[in-house]
Chains A and B, each alone.
Chain A
Amino acid sequence: MFNLTKIAVRNLRRYKRRSLLTVSLIAFGVVFVLVFVAVSSSFKDIMIRQITNSYLGDLQIHRRGYVASIETLPLNLNLSPQQAANAAKALKENPEVSAFSERIKFGAMFSNFTETTNIRINGVVPDHEFTTCPAMSTRISDGDKNASALAKGKILVPALLARGMGSKVGDTVVIVATNKDGSVNGKTFVISGILESATGPGGRDGYIHIDDAMEILRIAQREISEFAISLKNPERADRVAESLKAQLGDIVQDPKKVPFQVHTWAELSPFSNIAKMVDLMTIFVKVMLVAIVLISILNVMIMAVYERVREIGTIAAIGTLPGKILSLFLVEGLFLGVAGALVGLIAALAIIFGLNVWKFSFNFGQTTGLILAPSLDLNQITIACAMVIGVSILASLQPSMKASRMEPIEALRHV
């Protein structure tokens, strides 16, 4: 093997400029893929964390059928107090759940005494909400930035609505809602803070204390529209969702009559489609890398075989077996791939390090100053390098086989 290596390395050095160009091309491809993967993963992670930590949570539990009708926020599809208690029990028992927040959601009218508009109200337990959605405080642009913003009688108003209505912190407003039996009720609140949208315009969700929500809706016992759940490891959302479904099924004894539905953030947020697009683009970029490696190595190895026909004839004539001739050329192609992958990896790590030092920031929707923190895990590096090396061998295979199958007498005649 050492001798194969020695000959391969010397042959690559023999055509320095060509080898260097090929290695550079492969390295460029590797840099492009790794930096793209690192940056896009960082962007995706930031956005997902922004969404899940701001309002959605990693998982949510609703009564069966609620999500399908979520636009109307139907009060008749709230979890009953008993069901809510069962769900809370299951969440407390699940070791993967770090926090959860129970919410009563309803549509209401928002009035500042001169104008009225519609609003979606979330009645929450302040401590639970701020623990489950820790980024909530970062969304409050004006006013109290902690659980005290949701003390009884206070309301967090969405920014778009506040601007449109000319409302500000300290103003008194009225929330009017129709409760389950059709009667209308209202309550005055003091604006404690202005809530910026997490991902873009269109946010019309205001927050009040859950007891205030029950008072407006005239609910004696705590009914719950949804549980937002924060997980210790958000990467395991799908598995925890399955385990929660099993837990909730056990509670009601009859799996066919489970009144709950567990959804992951990806099933609830349109951003999951953007995340899928990013993943698709990553695959596309990887396909481009494969094409770059395949074409550049195939080209170099075809040239190498063509230029060394007499040499192949000589070594075949003196008794080198076809398998060894094949190996000689395969090792050359492999080394080009390994060198390209290594140079590319080092350059990519340097660029990613530079991006982290530079702290590249971007805006997304209403959210400004998001700082990219690109990083690569060992898995991504291994996949990219294995891909390059695998394709290098594949690209070298055809020219190498051609070399090994050459008739020595024909090859020796080659001018």
Chain B
Amino acid sequence: MSLIIAQDLVKTYQAEAIEVRALQGVSFDIAPGAFLAFVGPSGSGKTTLLNLIGCLDKPTSGALAVAGADVLKLDRRQAAEFRGANIGFIFQSFNLLAVLTAFENVEYPLVMVQEVRPAERRDRVLKALQAVGMLEQKNQMPEQLSGGQKQRVAIARALVTQPKLVLADEPTANLDHDTAYMILRLMKKMRDNFGITFIFSTHDTRIIGEAEIIYSLEDGRLLQREEKGKANVQSNENRGAKLTAL
């Protein structure tokens, strides 16, 4: 069963008098446990697509199911609850809360979103920090951490809620090549260890090869689906039936 099924997603923005078509009929499905990248130049629609999958935005038309839920029917509050329960986020600028330590940043979603009991919370936070190799820096403030360390903490924060899916928008854009490579390796390791689906966007050709499935986007259209060693353009025809079945 697919974790994500998208059918004919269209997203248009009104920029002053001009209508911008960010996505123009994108369809795909993603299986659980995938390590997948949306690639393409700036303005190709990668971030828009991640925002739709992450229930941060709604398409102008089309259908989208994530983890078995028709996310287009969720209102603002339900979408927040859905994100808190099912989706982890990793941001390009790390977006750690400046006033909290590494430990507290990872703990935040367990306290403020999932309301996990303190004893279990501490255990889960320590395990997540250990998994990303940041246990020793757990009491440091974000300003005391390097870019790579911040992103590790951000990965721990995304994983600690035990989501079905982690979305990472350009997670390596602010990192040097070696660190970027290391972060992607870490994400893949987390996928291997915890079975969580990782979807990231990038335009960095040096790290694209780390993805197992690559969707190429250009001008809001899905050009190609490439899967480790074989390339094909995915057919959109059988997506409708899957969505109807949800």
Contact = CB atoms under 8 A, between A and B. Distances in A.
Asked whether A and B interact, the reply is yes
A277 interface: no
Interface stretch (B66-74, B82-90, B131-139, B182-190): B82-90
Nearest to A321: B80
B117 interface: no
A321 B97 contact: no
B113 interface: yes
Nearest to B76: A322
Given A408-B56, A409-B51, A412-B91, A319 B99 contact: no
Contacts of B108: 315, 318
Interface of B: 51, 54, 56-57, 76-77, 80-85, 87-89, 91, 93, 95, 97-100, 108-109, 111-114, 157, 161
A313 B91 CA distance: 11
Given A10-B99, A311-B98, A318-B113, 7 more contacts: A313-B95, A316-B80, A317-B83, A319-B109, A319-B114, A320-B112, A321-B80
The A contact surface, by secondary structure, is helix
A321 B80 CA distance: 6
Contact of B83 (A3, A7, A318): A318
Interface of A: 3, 7, 10-11, 13-14, 310-311, 313-322, 324, 407-409, 412
A319 B83 contact: yes
7 contacts: A3-B111, A3-B112, A7-B97, A311-B97, A319-B84, A322-B76, A409-B57
Nearest to A14: B99
A317 B54 contact: yes
A321 B95 contact: no
B84 A409 contact: no
B51 A315 contact: no
A327 B98 CA distance: 19
B89 A7 contact: no
A315 B112 contact: yes
B229 to A, nearest CB: 34
B99 A7 contact: yes
Q: Which 5 A-B pairs rank lowest in CB-CB distance, beginning with the nearest?
A: A319-B84, A10-B99, A314-B95, A319-B113, A319-B83
Contacts of A7: 97, 99-100
A320 B99 CA distance: 17
- Which of B83, B99, B157 has the largest count of A CB atoms less than 10 A from its CB? B99
A319 B51 contact: no
A313 B98 CA distance: 14
Contacts of B83: 317-319
Contact of B56 (A11, A315, A317, A322): A317
A318 B84 contact: yes
A318 B100 contact: no
A3 B121 CA distance: 13
A314 B97 contact: yes
Nearest to B169: A412
Contacts of A315: 97, 108, 112
Contacts of A3: 111-112
B111 A321 contact: no
Contact of A321 (B77, B93, B99): B77
Contacts of A412: 56, 91, 95
Contacts of B112: 3, 315, 320, 324
Contacts of A319: 80-85, 87, 109, 113-114, 161
Contacts of A321: 77, 80-81, 84, 113
Contacts of B51: 409
B86 to A, nearest CB: 9
A317 B89 contact: yes
A320 B95 CA distance: 15
Contacts of B56: 317, 407-409, 412
A322 to B, nearest CB: 7
A314 B109 contact: no
Contacts of B82: 319
Nearest to B82: A319
B140 to A, nearest CB: 15
